């Protein structure tokens, strides 16, 4: 089986749902920005791409009707280029990268594009018309449990305190603010945002604006400010340690965004004079109890390392990890279980920081189906910048799952 290489990876800025700069921008327009940017940066001709797979957690309404195929037509690819939509909830974008890489490895395709998109402003979490199975909901209601309650469960069951969660959240914002200030988000492609404005006579006009930066980073926040925020999902119970500890400040932001990744075989790289960035190595998915879905990475990452005859020491010495911060409680628990829970591995300014070293979803947002591709694009940029050999992307997944993928810096 041949190798699959990531040639280029880009993303739009991640902007707050409802209140951010991309709140009125349709998801296919977000994808269009990343696809055009990907082609321009890589130098890959559109007619050489064979398939495009796009992850989306709630593929309906504005992001329905197979947005993977719509993105092909929206962005001027030849009609011969096929498209698909992939859904593994929070890992959808990563799943798209893996499936596209496997196409290349198997010889089905020579050049593919993978990515993810989510407009949480236009399509609400849970979808517009959720209809749970009544019998399943009665027999196993945790199938449809609130993600916030799962974060509370993890905090209580695994002793993750409110102070620990707030401290982890603070470091996420500090790392992201530093990365933004120092221009380290080189994977960002400017997005053309849609803005609808009401004129003085009551009519509406459609305008556009260019968005170049993530807009959810709060570099000036503090532990004191975070400590004042009320619980978002459960009231504290004095008899239950660490209850009522998950807040809007130590949870991921709902976000709009898109990301695209170009994947090619070695033969195609030579044919089109492309440059290798990283090589896809392996991917695992695991299941866990739905009511503590956040622990998924704590199971997936060790399995991934063991299967590839690596240890967490290899990652500490010559690697980086992007672990999605769905909630500080689960991200911190997973980091502890994986072996990188000490603050030096995730604190801003630490020479040993390998976990989310440009900040995570608490500061930068979690655009659901886009997140796996978004985290990958950030990871690849940092692997190249820092010269780290190994990179891992991992996340928990609604419904009780975890996913983790391993990449290696190309020679």
Q: What is the pLDDT of residues 208-217, one digit of tens each?
A: 999 999 999 9
15 classed as catalytic? no
Q: How many domains does the chain have?
A: 1
Rounded to whole angstroms, the Cα distance separating 360 from 220 reads 16
Domain-embedded: residue 61: yes
**Containing structural domain, residue 312:** 5-123+153-189+250-404
Q: Does 396 qualify as catalytic in the annotation?
A: yes
- The full DSSP string for 193-246 is EEEEEE-TTS-EEEEEEEE-S-S---TT--HHHHHTSPBSS----TTSTTTT--
- List % helix, strand, coil for the chain (3-state, nearest 5): 40, 25, 35
pLDDT of residue 15: 98
Rounded CA-CA distance 25/306 in Å is: 42
203 inside domain: no
**56 given a catalytic annotation:** no
Largest CA-CA distance found in the chain, in angstroms, rounded: 68
List of long-range contacts for 178-183, beta carbons under 8 Å, 24+ apart: 178/219, 178/348, 178/349, 179/357, 179/358, 179/359, 180/213, 180/214, 180/217, 180/219, 181/219
Q: Which residues of the chain have pLDDT under 50?
A: none
Q: Which helix (H) or strand (E) holds 164?
A: helix 162-181
| Residue among 33, 90, 288, 334 flagged as catalytic | 90
Contacts of 241 (CB under 8 A, 6+ apart): 156, 159
Q: Six-digit token pair at 119?
A: 């407009």
CATH, residue 296: 3.40.47.10
Burial label, 92 (beta-carbon count in 10 A; 0-12, 13-18, 19+): buried
Distance CA(337)–CA(348), nearest Å, equals 21
47 belongs to a structural domain: yes
What pLDDT is attached to residue 195? 87
- Domain annotation covers residue 241: no
| The predicted structure's pLDDT at residue 199 | 76
Bridge-based pairing of strands 82-86 and 51-55 is parallel
Residue 295: strand, helix, or coil: helix
Q: Is residue 98 part of a domain?
A: yes
| Cβ neighbours for 22, distance < 8 A, ≥ 6 positions apart | 12, 13, 15, 30, 119, 121, 191, 193, 211, 256, 257
pLDDT value at residue 294: 98
3-class DSSP assignment, residue 370? helix
Structural domain contains residue 232: no
- Residue 313, number of CB atoms within 10 A of its CB: 11
Nearest by Cα to 111 from 261, 328, 290: 261
Q: Is 409 part of a structural domain of the chain?
A: no
Nearest to 38 by CA among 73, 77, 83: 77
Do the domain assignments include residue 218?
Answer: no
Distance CA 343, CA 174 (A): 14
Length of the chain: 411
Q: Do 296 and 338 form a contact (C-beta atoms < 8 A)?
A: no
């Amino acid at each position: 089986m041949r190798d699959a290489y990531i040639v280029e990876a880009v993303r739009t800025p991640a902007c707050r749902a409802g209140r951010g700069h991309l709140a009125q921008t349709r998801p296919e327009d977000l994808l269009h920005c990343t696809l055009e940017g990907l082609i321009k940066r890589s130098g890959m001709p559109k007619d050489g791409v064979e398939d495009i797979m796009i992850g989306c957690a709630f593929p309906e309404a504005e992001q329905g009707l197979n947005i993977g195929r719509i993105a092909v037509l929206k962005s001027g690819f030849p009609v011969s280029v096929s498209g698909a939509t992939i859904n593994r909830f929070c890992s959808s974008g990563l799943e798209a990268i893996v499936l596209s890489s496997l196409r290349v490895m198997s010889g089905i395709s020579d050049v593919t594009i993978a990515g993810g998109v989510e407009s949480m402003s236009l399509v609400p979490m849970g979808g517009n018309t959720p209809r749970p199975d009544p019998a399943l909901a009665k027999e196993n209601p945790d199938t449809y449990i609130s993600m916030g309650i799962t974060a509370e469960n993890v905090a209580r069951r695994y002793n993750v305190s409110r102070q620990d969660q707030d401290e982890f959240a603070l470091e996420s914002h500090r790392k992201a603010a530093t990365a933004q200030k120092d221009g380290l988000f080189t994977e960002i492609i400017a997005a053309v945002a849609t803005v609808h404005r009401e004129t003085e006579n009551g009519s509406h006009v459609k305008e556009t604006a260019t968005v170049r930066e993530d807009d959810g980073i709060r570099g000036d926040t503090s532990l004191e400010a975070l400590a004042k925020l009320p619980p978002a999902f459960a009231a504290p119970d004095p008899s239950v340690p660490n209850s009522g500890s998950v807040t809007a400040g130590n949870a991921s932001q709902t976000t709009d965004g898109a990301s695209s990744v170009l994947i090619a075989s070695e033969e195609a790289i030579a044919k089109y004079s492309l440059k290798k960035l990283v090589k896809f190595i392996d991917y695992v998915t695991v299941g866990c109890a739905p009511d503590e879905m956040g622990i998924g990475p704590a199971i997936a990452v060790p399995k991934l390392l063991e299967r590839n005859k690596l240890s967490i020491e290899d990652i500490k010495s010559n690697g980086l990890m992007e672990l999605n911060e769905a909630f500080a409680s689960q991200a911190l628990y997973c980091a502890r279980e994986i072996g990188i829970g000490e603050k030096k591995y995730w604190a801003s300014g630490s020479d040993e920081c390998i976990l989310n070293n440009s900040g995570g979803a608490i500061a930068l947002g979690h655009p659901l189906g886009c997140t796996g591709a978004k985290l990958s694009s950030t990871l690849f940029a940092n692997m190249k910048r820092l010269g780290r050999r190994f990179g891992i992307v991992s996340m928990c997944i609604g419904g009780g799952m975890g996913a983790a993928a391993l990449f290696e810096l190309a020679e």
